[in-house]
Structure 1
C-alpha cells in the first residue's frame, strides 16, 4: 500500500513561516497590556486580542481533522 506522491511545494521563507506566530504573539502582548492598564472598552479589546490565539488553534485543529481533498485510488 503506497501513497501517491504529494506535489512538491517550494521552500518557504523564514518571514512567511513565522508571520502568523509573531502576529499572535504581538496580539497577545497587546491584549495583556490593555487588560492591565485599561478599563471599559480597552478591557473588551483585551479579551478580543487574547482570544485570537485560541481561535487560531481551533481553526487549525478543525482544518487538520477535515478529510483530505485528494482522490484515493
Structure 2
C-alpha cells in the first residue's frame, strides 16, 4: 500500500484533472468561550438598520436565481 502522503498527492492530481482544487479553511472555533465572547461583542455593535438593508438586498438578489413558476 502507498504512503498516506502519496495517496493524498494522487487524489489531488485526480481532482485537478477534474477541474477541482482542494481548499482548506481555518476558522475560529465557536466552542471556545473567547471566540463566543468576541462574536457576541460584534453582534452587539451591529446596526439594525444596516442589517435589515443587507438582508433585503440578499432576498431581492436571490430571487434572480429562483426558477419562475413556469419552470417549476
When normalised by structure 1's length, the TM-score is 0.31
Report the structure number with the largest CA radius of gyration: 2
